[in-house]
Structure 1
């Protein structure tokens, strides 16, 4: 087996480097501008991105796990990178529930890492995520699922700036008779929040949020906000996240996790697409 070394930015897309690392059976963390892919023995064990909610948010807001159980597992097993194992062994969470939520979080983050596929920033051999391995996923499966999601979103609405730009409602439109999830999503569109911020506010799977936002855009109800020229030396508006004023295509380098995500937020839970995730889980078990 080839032992990978620390990798600086290259012209090779992250997706291609992932294939190389998979063939080498590598373990470590591949950083890109949109997120970090964690590998163990050439398989993807976790993906994180600042553009998707943390797995702790998804577990606690879905009602699958009490916040006290989440933080207890972090305190007891975070340094050993065994938080997931601790949640199951302590009885706080069923193994199947953890695997389904983990797959959802992994594929959501991988969508952004691969949809905006740029050069890899670096590879850190041996780096591990604090959650630990839950359900290793072959790199080919991650690439295939990310491609499927890009194609689906393109069919709904082909403009990708909806994924990243601050979104605003289109004046004079009638949002009556929207399905419940779409109505909740539209209610979060305020001219400041991006898709990632809307998903976080809803404690929702990011891909579900992107689907609803693209449907809203296709219906003419929302559009990316066009930023106006900022006055010279003007102070930043209060309570506006810094990412809201960034260009729609700019992605800040994702930091390596030092802490297991933010504290849970008291927002409405989202209904996960359990049928899709169960199909993925069954496909992985058949490999």
Structure 2
């Protein structure tokens, strides 16, 4: 029996191994990238999660980010430059960076997000801000996934365009902001980017709205047709060409 004190299963065995080896570089997956320094996670990026420059748009205009990137990006010290130049307070940068890190890591470490690759020695232009252990990152990703499943156990809404549903459902001001952009074209990631909010927080709003019937996926979007996969595909899950196989399968399903 699993007890509350037992650790959840690792979401990426390679991440666990790299942490034990105190590796430095970039862990690349289909849904995002984790940057490690001495085995600790120092930054994360994902197409599904707005970057730090988006989350801090109201605090720091795009021109400020561009100057910081131009002057400190080549040496990987953008974070330090923002603080030393007075554009951000040290604590403000740290809190925003941790939020962006956990947000992107949640998507990057999603189960079934394809093969994992590691590029040794690669560093992010932000530079070190507040390193986090791989164990903490994995636990937080697991906690967030369980929370989403409790709210609405149908992940189809996470990646599909969403559209308004029942207009009589009472919603909060924050949820109304999401509804205003639910046009049947934008995905939750698109909505998060336009609102300048973390991707995971937007997923929480979308799943709560879906559970209440306030949003749904467009009816004209067909359900994917299951495609029988040849038995040999399961034998090459560690092969780097599996990403190509996934894209081919998705194309067949679309057809």
Q: Sort the TM-score into its range (normalised by shorter chain).
A: 0.7 to 0.9
Match among 170, 176, 179 for residue 183 of structure 1:
176
Task: Indicate the SS of the match to 2:109.
Answer: helix
Provide the residue aligned with 1:280 in structure 2.
none
* Corresponding position of 1:103: 98
Q: Name the structure 1 match of 2:109.
A: 114
How far did 1:167 drift? 1.2
What residue is the counterpart of 1:20 in the other structure? Answer: 17
Tell which has more relative contact order, 1 or 2 (C-alpha 8 A, sep 6+).
1
Distance change (3 Å), C-alpha of 1:198 and 1:79: same
For 1:105-125, what per-residue CA distance to the aligned partner results, in whole angstroms no more than 9, with x for missing partners? 111111111223444342100
Equivalents in 1 of 2:182, 2:106: separation in Å?
A: 22
Q: Does the 8 Å contact 1:54/1:105 carry over to 2?
A: yes
Q: Secondary structure at the residue paired with 1:44?
A: strand
Query: d(CA) in 2 for partners of 1:176 and 1:153?
Result: 20
Residues 178/119 of structure 1: CA separation in 2 closer, same or farther (3 Å cut): closer
**Greater mean alpha carbon deviation, residues 125-134 or residues 174-183:** 174-183
2:130 corresponds in structure 1 to 135
Contact kept, 8 Å, 1:107 with 1:146, in 2: the verdict is yes
- Pick aligned residue for 1:214 from 197, 207, 219: 207
1:37 and 2:30 correspond: no
**Deviation at 1:166?**
1.3
> How many pairs were matched up?
216
TM-score (norm 1): 0.71
Alignment pair present for 1:124 and 2:122: no
- Name the SS of the counterpart of 2:101 in structure 1: helix
Q: In structure 2, which of residues 55, 58, 81 is the aligned counterpart of residue 58 of structure 1?
A: 55
Q: CA–CA distance in 2 between the matches of 1:120 and 1:38?
A: 16
Tell me which of 65, 68, 86 is aligned to 2:81.
86
| Cα distance change, pair 220–125 in 1 and its aligned pair in 2 (3 A) | same
Of the three residues 57, 67, 71, the one matched with 2:66 is 71
1:205: which partner in 2? Answer: 198
Q: Which runs of 4+ in 1 moved over 3 A?
A: 116-121
Query: Which residue does the alignment assign to 1:236?
Result: none
Identify the residue that residue 229 of structure 2 maps to in structure 1: none
Unaligned runs of at least 5 residues, structure 2: 1-9, 224-246, 251-255
CA distance in 1, matches of 2:161, 2:61: 32
CA distance in 2, matches of 1:44, 1:209: 23
Q: 5+ residue gaps in structure 1?
A: 1-12, 230-246, 251-287
Change (3 A) 1:82 1:224: same
